[in-house]
Amino acid sequence: MPQAPTDPTTPSAAPRPPIAARPRRNPYVRLLALPGAAAFTVGNLVARLPMGMFSVSAVTMIAGARGSYALAGAVTATGLAATAAVAPWIARLVDRHGQARVAVPATVVAVLGSLALLLCVRYGAPDWTLFAAYAATATTPNTGGMARARWAHLLKGDAAAVHTANSFEQAADELCFMLGPVLAAFLCGTLFPQAGTLVGAVLLLTGTLLFAAQRATEPPVHGRATGPARKSPLRARGMPALLAVFLATGAVFGALEVVTLAYADERGHQAAAGVVLALQAAGSCAAGLVFGAVRPRGPLHRRRVWCAAAMAALMALPLLAATATGSLVALAAALLCAGMATAPTMVTAMTLVQRLTPEGQLNEGMTLAVTGLLGGIACGAAAGGWAAEHLGAATGYGVPVAAAVCALLLTVGSAARGLAP
C-alpha cells in the first residue's frame, strides 16, 4: 500500500513505512510497539493524571480550611487565567529549546507553587498568598501537547497512524479527567485535606521526569528563527477560526460540569454528581478509542463538520432527560451517550491544529488550542452556573446545547470559507 502524503506542517523525522499498512494488528498495539513509545506514554500518563486532581483538591482544601467556596473558586479561577497567559509562552520555549530542557524546570516551579499553596492553607497565611501560590502552578507544561508532538515526529508521512495516535491521546485526556477528580476526592476525604494536592504534585514531578528522560523520541529543536519568517501560530491561515471552535467546545464542557453538579444537588444526590460526570468522560474515552481504530475516510474538513454535528445533536439528550424525566439515572445515560461525540470532535480538531501550525511550533500551536479550550470552560461554567441558579438546573442544560450549536456553526463557516485543508 502506498504511503500517505507527507504533511509539511508536522515536525521532521525520517520517513517510516505507514503503520496502518500492516494488517491484522490492533492499531494501538502497533503504536506502542514503536521504540520508546511505551516509555514516554507511561511517563506522560502519570504526569497528566494530576491535571484532573488539582482543581478539586484546591477547592476541597481551601473551602475546608477557610469555610468559603467563593474564595476557593476565586483562587482556582485565578490559576486558570494565569495558565491561559503563561502556557503558550512555556510551549514556545519548548519548541525553541526542547521538551526536556524546558518541561523539567517549568514543572519544578509548578510543584513548588502547589506546595506553597498547601503550606499557606495549612498555616493560615493571608488570602492573597493563596492566589499568588496557585498562580505559580501556571508553569505546568502541556504534556499532552508534547506527547502529540512526539507522535507527529515519529509517524510523519503516515496520516492514518497519526489519526490513531491523536485518538489515543484524546482518550488519555478523558481518562485522566475522569479518574483525577475521583482520586482527589478520595485522598482528601480519607486521609487529610491536603493529600490530594500533595499526591498530585508528586505524580506531576515524577511523570514529567520519566517523560523527559525519553530523549530518543523527542522531536528535534528548530531553535529561534530570525527575521519575519517565524510568526505566531495565531497568524496561520485558519487558526483563529479554529481557536473559536475550541472556545465554543470548551463552553460545552464547562457548562455540563456546573449544571450537572447543580442538578444533582437540587435532588439531594450531590455525592452522585462525580459518578454521573465520570460516565460522560467514559463515553468520550470509549468513543475516542473506537474512532482511532477506524481508518479515516474523506477530507478532514468534512469529518470535522460531521463530528461537530453529532456533538450538537447528542448534547440535546441531557436536556431532554433532565426536563422530561427528572431522573438522575436517565441523565447519566444521556450524558454517557452525549460524551461519545466529544472525543471524535476533539481528535479532528487537534489533527487540524497539527496541519495548520507552522513547522517547529507544534507545541505552541496545540497549547493555544488548549488555552482556547480552557477559556471556553471558564465561560461555559459561568453561563451554566447563571442559568442553573436563575432558570433551574434542568433548563441549564440548554447552555451546552447552545455552545455545541455554536461550535457547529463555526466549523461549517470555516469549512465553507476554505479555511480547513
DSSP 266-281: HTT-GGGHHHHHHHHH
Length of the chain: 421
| Angle, CA of 384, 281 and 285, to the nearest 5° | 145
* CB count in 10 Å sphere of residue 143: 24
The CATH number of the structural domain formed by 231-421 is 1.20.1250.20
The CATH number of the structural domain formed by 37-163+178-223 is 1.20.1250
Rounded Cα–Cα distance for residues 421 and 61 (Å)? 46
Beta carbons of 292 and 164 less than 8 angstroms apart: yes
> Per-residue confidence of the chain (421 residues) as pLDDT tens digits?
344 444 444 444 445 555 444 445 688 888 888 888 888 899 999 998 888 788 778 877 887 888 776 787 788 778 878 888 888 888 888 888 888 899 999 999 999 999 999 999 988 889 899 999 999 998 988 888 888 888 888 888 787 888 888 888 878 887 887 778 778 878 887 888 888 899 999 999 999 999 999 888 888 876 554 444 566 777 777 788 888 888 898 888 888 877 887 788 777 766 676 678 778 878 888 887 887 777 767 777 788 888 889 999 999 999 999 888 888 888 889 988 988 888 888 888 888 887 887 777 777 777 888 888 878 887 887 788 788 878 888 888 999 999 999 999 988 887 666 555 5
The domains of the chain are located at 37-163+178-223, 231-421
Same fold, 37-163+178-223 and 231-421: yes
Alpha helices in 16-142 (DSSP H): 27-32, 37-48, 54-66, 69-97, 99-122, 127-135
Beta carbons of 210 and 46 less than 8 angstroms apart: yes
Q: How far from 72 is each of 52, 55, 65, 185, CA to CA, in Å? A: 16, 9, 10, 15
Q: Tell me the three cell numbers of residue 346.
A: 476533539
- DSSP code of residue 226: -
Enter the pTM of the model. 0.74
